[in-house]
Homo-oligomer: A and B are copies of this chain.
C-alpha cells in the first residue's frame, strides 16, 4: 500500500478481497561474501521489527500469493521461494486483544482504530516461505506503513513481533537441512565456481567450519558438485579449478527421495 487511501480501503474492505485467518510471512535470507542476513521491516508506530508478509487473495493460488507478496513488499521477483512450515501454535496468535493493539498502533498513522470484531483482529495462522538471494543485488521498495527496512545478520536478530523469531529459527533449520537436498547455492554463486567460494557459502549458511579437503571430498562423494576440466585465471600463478552444481543429480534425488545419500 502506497497511500493513505489504499490503507483505508484495505482496512475497510480487505475481507472482500482476502481470506481471513491466514497470512504469508517471508524469510528472505541474503547472502554476500561470508555474511548471512535476513530482511526485516518496521511498521509505523512500532519499536519491534517483523518479517515482511501479507494476505492471500480469494481467487489466487497460495503460490501466486507468496510470489505477489514478495514482489510487492521487496521489489524482488523471479526468485525461488520455498514454503517450509505453517505456524499456528504461538499464544500470541490466539490473543485477539494483543493483535488488535498491534494493528491499532500501525493504523494510527491514517487515523483508523479497529474494533474487536474487525477481520484483521481475527486469529491468523501464518504460512512461512523462505528465499535466498544475494542481498547486494536487492533494492527494497518503500511502502506507506513501513518506516524502516534492514538486513540483519542471523546472529543479531532482535526480539520480533508475534512469533516471527520462531518462524526464523524454523526457516534456518530448513535451509540448512535442504542445503544437502536442493541446489540452494546455485543462484548465489557463478555457474562455475571455485572450491573456496562454495566452501565459504556452506560454512556461512551452516554456521560451522569445515576442513577444506574433507569438504571437497564429501561434496563430490555426495554428488552435490562436479569438478570441471577448467580453471579460473585469477593471477599469474593462481588458476584454481572450477566446479559446478550437479543439477541432474539434485533433480533425480528430489524425485526419488534423498538418493544423494544412499
Contact = CB atoms under 8 A, between A and B. Distances in A.
Interface string A118-144: 000001010100000000000000000
Most buried by B among A19, A65, A127: A19
Interface residues of A, number: 45
Interface in A163-186: 172-173, 175-177, 179-181
A interface, by DSSP: helix, strand, loop or mixed? mixed
A88 B56 contact: yes
Given A21-B19, A86-B127, A218 B261 contact: yes
A22 interface: yes
Contact of A86 (B19, B86, B176, B179): B86
User: Nearest 10 A-B pairs (CB), nearest first?
Assistant: A176-B257, A62-B88, A61-B89, A86-B86, A177-B258, A19-B21, A180-B258, A86-B127, A63-B89, A180-B261
